[in-house]
Structure 1
């Protein structure tokens, strides 16, 4: 695996770990609002809440990643088209200038 792949894997691991920790914190805050729960019920509620939170975060991450790839592809396509148009314009203008200079030299003789 190359260095970029390792860094991307490490980034994914850190992001996943941060999401898990955030889910646990939110689960504890949620369970604190239910003081009548037994210890077992509280533990189960925290686990369920955290699992749901992580699943939702992963779904959102996947959607954002997919949309980001779509946008990147779209902009790359638009950039290539714009670059082609600019190059065409430069070639046409250069041709016109060279033609005008050539005509001016012929007339000057």
Structure 2
């Protein structure tokens, strides 16, 4: 009977180690996704700050765009709409990046006045 209980305890420990390893792997993958999302936002902000166009298209009341529209403007719209639904942590990082972008643009506008 003692051998049976010992074997059961070892089996339970093995199962628990397997579960802990799976949970650790999940946490590691989630942290990696979040880190990659933050890196993408940081790279996007650096790229935007380097080649920020002076002229962006005007948007009329109908929603049709006139004039040149920057690539970053189209890309940020796609990223905001697409990735936020798939990865909530990436979506949060993207929102923070968008808010930083808005803040930088507002500061530039104030400085230009």
TM-score range, shorter chain: 0.3 to 0.5
Structure with greater helix share of residues: 1
Query: Larger Cα Rg: Structure 1 or Structure 2?
Result: 1
